[in-house]
Chain A
């Protein structure tokens, strides 16, 4: 009774907001040509709240990329389910956009047509989609390269291009699969800063798969550590670093302590994955 008295109107708990993405007891089995089965994921549960940035980290081959693709609907879970509260279609545009490690750019399309690809598939007219694509190219520092082809660009420029392709569709959810793994260390630092800035401006729901502890902490609101194959969630660490963040956020005691915690959780798993392979 006391509890009821204490709870004024402002204290009534709001109905819990459903997460933008939720994986429930997701498992994934791959069957090879010789019929051999590989369990990539086992009973993975993951909630991604709207407007948060979740970094996903784990040893090589732990199924984190598979989980990302399942979350984005590019792959079906063998068991379990993925729930999404994103509006599925907005004028034919997918609610989820991907950024791939190897960029996944179409070599036969010019830079501007690569960016506009999703808009074109959604049936948007040429002028409008090119205008939007140009605006994002300018924002990503690629103005003047509209008529080039991806192969003429450097790695860092290609990844900016693939970010522009994702952002131009104004997705609710952005799924990034090791987007900076193929870049050199300095380019990587610059792009991480770009991403921090973009995220803080747009507040998309993001899941980022990465190998880098620094990147996971610098960018994420949470860092989820996965076990060696079959992948499960081992640790879900909130990152309390203040925003806005920049490269200097990756210094200081709090950062170092979190990095040590992450490595402590990850180290055993990396060793296990080495023993397996």
Chain B
């Protein structure tokens, strides 16, 4: 081996060693991030438990986590929690699907049809400004205390969020991409199908993420006042009967449901809009 080659070999070895050191350091930082993310909520729960046990706080109001877990076990085995969860989930999903499909279709249509947009867009914007939960009494008057009124509150909030997002996506569509589409033979229905629709999907998914969270808020509030089942009812009824342990179970379930539904939307988004997530990877 010549001296130069040997030196080059040494240099390669040295670089490899440096890379290994940097990789190990990055792995350590990553492990630390993970353990901190887990340790924080676990410590807070432990602190809560200790505070209640030692009567730093009133355990009748701040039910300690162990008691909450016990209450959750009872609610699950009695079937109350699963049936409340199913009732809320059904209302939310039905309302969300109807509202999202309708809102997206109407928003896209208003985006491409100027006279329709001129006629309806200001009206929809004004209606969106009304908190959808304020519609509930009216819906109850019209539809009675059935499922329809409850589902429609979710439909209303989802519809407007998607209508506004889809409309805005088309209105602010990159004109250079429309021009490129036109230059390569897309017009009319093809322009919509192959350019406008796929290009609007990221904004539509943003709308879905926002409206699933809003939908959960609205259905919970609706069940507070106008339902005798569902997670909202569980929380509200537990407060009225002063059973805070059950109330906490209901609140935690609502929170977990929100996390789970957001994760479902995020998973759908990764499938439907893969290019957004592969950006500069």
B186 at interface (Cβ–Cβ under 8 A)?
yes
Contact call B185/A121, Cβ cutoff below 8 A? yes
How far does the alpha carbon of A152 sit from the alpha carbon of B198 in the complex, in Å?
18
Interface centre among B180, B194, B278, B280 (most CB of A within 10 A): B180
| A106 pairs with B177, CB closer than 8 A | yes
Grouping DSSP codes into helix (H, G, I), strand (E, B) and loop, the B interface class, with mixed when no group exceeds half, is: helix
Q: Are B177 and A151 in contact (CB under 8 A)?
A: no
One of A118, A120, A151 near B275 (C-beta < 8 A): A151
Asked if B266 CB lies within 8 Å of chain A CBs, one says no
Question: For chain B residues 257-281, which have a beta carbon within 8 Å of chain A?
Answer: 273-275, 278-281
Q: Is A106 touching B176 in the complex (CB atoms < 8 A)? A: no
Cβ-closest chain B residue relative to A122? B185
**Docked-complex contact B184 and A151, CB < 8 angstroms:** no
Judged by a CB distance under 8 angstroms, whether B199 is at the interface is: yes
Do A152 and B278 have beta carbons less than 8 Å apart?
A: yes
Q: Which residues of A contact B199 (CB under 8 A)?
A: 106-108
Identify the closest chain B residue to A175 (Cβ).
Answer: B183
Interfacial chain A residues near B140, Cβ < 8 Å: none
Among A103-124, those with CB < 8 Å from B are 104-109, 117-118, 120-122
Most buried by B among A92, A121, A122: A121
Given contacts A117-B184, A118-B184, contact A151 B279 (CB under 8 A): yes
Is A104 touching B185 in the complex (CB atoms < 8 A)? no
Asked if A94 CB lies within 8 Å of chain B CBs, one says: yes
- Chain A residues near B177: list those with CB within 8 A: 104, 106
Chain A residues with Cβ below 8 Å from B190 are 121
Measured between beta carbons, the chain A residues less than 8 angstroms from B181 are 106, 117
Q: Mark B230-243, 1 if CB is under 8 A from A, else 0.
A: 00000000000000
Given A106-B198, A106-B199, A108-B199: A94 touches B183 (CB 8 Å cut-off) = yes
Nearest Cβ on chain B to A37's Cβ, whole angstroms: 20
Cβ contacts under 8 Å, B280 to chain A: 151-152
Whether, in the assembled complex, A53 has its beta carbon less than 8 Å from a beta carbon of chain B, the answer is no
User: Cβ of B278 and Cβ of A151 under 8 Å apart?
Assistant: yes
Instruction: Check A235 for interface membership: any CB of B closer than 8 A.
Output: no
A contact residues, total (Cβ < 8 Å): 28
How many residues does chain B have at the interface if contact means C-beta atoms less than 8 Å apart? 23
Verify if B201 is at the interface (C-beta below 8 Å from A).
yes
Whole-angstrom CA separation of A117 from B182 in the bound complex: 11
Contact present for A74 and B275 (CB under 8 Å): no
CB of B179 within 8 Å of the partner chain: yes
Contact B184–A94 (Cβ < 8 Å): yes
Kindly list chain B residues whose C-beta atoms are within 8 Å of the C-beta of A97: 183-184
Residue in B closest to A121 when the chains form the complex, CB atoms? B185
Q: Mark A23-65, 1 if CB is under 8 A from B, else 0.
A: 0000000000000000000000000000000000000000000
The 4 lowest CB-CB distance pairs between A and B, nearest first, are: A104-B180, A121-B185, A118-B184, A98-B183
Q: Could you list 9 examples of A-B contacts with CB < 8 Å? A: A100-B180, A106-B198, A106-B199, A107-B199, A109-B198, A122-B185, A149-B279, A151-B280, A169-B184
Taking A108-B273, A109-B275, A121-B194 as given, write out 17 further A-B residue pairs in contact, using a Cβ cutoff of 8 Å, ordered by the A residue number: A74-B179, A74-B182, A74-B183, A94-B183, A98-B180, A104-B180, A106-B199, A107-B199, A108-B198, A108-B199, A117-B186, A149-B275, A151-B275, A151-B278, A151-B279, A152-B279, A165-B184
Which residues on A are within 8 Å of B, measured CB to CB?
A: 69, 72, 74, 92-94, 96-98, 100, 102, 104-109, 117-118, 120-122, 148-149, 151-152, 165, 169
B residues bordering A, Cβ < 8 Å? 176-177, 179-186, 190, 194-195, 198-199, 201, 273-275, 278-281
